[in-house]
Copies of this chain bind each other. A is one copy, B any other.
Amino acid sequence: MNREQRAALLAEEMMAFQALFEPYLEGLLPGEGLEQQTVADAMRYSLLAGGKRIRPFLLVSCHKLCGGEPGQVLPLAAALEMIHTYSLIHDDLPCMDNDDYRRGRPTSHKVFGEAMAVLAGDGLLTAAFETALQARVEPALLCKAVQELGRAAGLFGMLGGQSIDVESEKKRLSLDEAQMLRMYAMKTGALLTGACRIGFAAAGVSGERLEIVTEYARELGLTFQIVDDMLDKTGDFALLGKPIGSDEKNQKTTFATLYSLEQCEALARQHTEAAVGAAQRLPDSDVLVALAEYLLERKK
């Protein structure tokens, strides 16, 4: 399969995934008639704002590669997207990055107020675990998959990275390159790695194949982050849906502050190649290869 064919396959798979995933996600949160409707609305507002759904797609693709059916793991995929969404809501709060736009719309606290935004994030994080446990996966495997979810989101994953990021910003300490790499590996890398590992765990696959897909995800995460940092400098607000230049405003150390744009591009290409190399050591991995190539080129 050549690159063009892979891109076509990816587009097809993504469309098929979204046709399953969006209605499922839509049905997860109550639409009306509750006394606690405001927080439910705030949860829906952010969850259904139309993100790229990279993480849940990656999870389902990895599970499929192991012989699984997408329908079995939609709850795990939704859980991962809920966790990603909660982290964005809390990240945007005035006491954190204080951002006004996200996914092209006013941020949660701008619409619902700070207290409701805190609660909406809490609600999505809680709903993530409730939802995850509804996956149609054998209980012993489900327990492992949900533990991977917790690990990816927690102190040694996304949350740990977020706290290093926030603290360095509040104290106006610049991270050096090694610190930045470790921070990113947690803050953005962990959920991508988690997506792959949850998909594999739900299918009961461990050992060498699990290690290979973890390596793939790590390289994918680096590409993702480098492109993110470049887009924060050179991107288009209309495409990105969030303000450009917020890293500079917050005096963050990023790939784009450490390196020139040309160097960033070369680095992103290098990590994409490493991701592709890892994926090619797995069977039926055309979609994973294509996804790595796609994320290198993304403009949003």
Contact = CB atoms under 8 A, between A and B. Distances in A.
B155 A36 contact: yes
A244 interface: no
B159 A39 contact: yes
A167 B167 CA distance: 30
Interface residues of A, number: 55
Nearest to A175: B35
Interface string A28-59: 01100011101110010000000000000000
A65 B95 CA distance: 45
A140 interface: yes
Interface stretch (A10-18, A110-118, A210-218, A277-285): A110-118
Interface in A99-142: 113-116, 118-119, 121-123, 125-127, 129-130, 133-134, 139-140, 142
Contacts of A96: 115, 118
B130 A163 contact: no
A94 to B, nearest CB: 8
A123 B159 CA distance: 7
Nearest to A87: B122
13 contacts: A30-B155, A39-B159, A39-B163, A86-B122, A95-B113, A95-B115, A96-B118, A125-B126, A126-B150, A133-B150, A139-B139, A139-B143, A143-B143
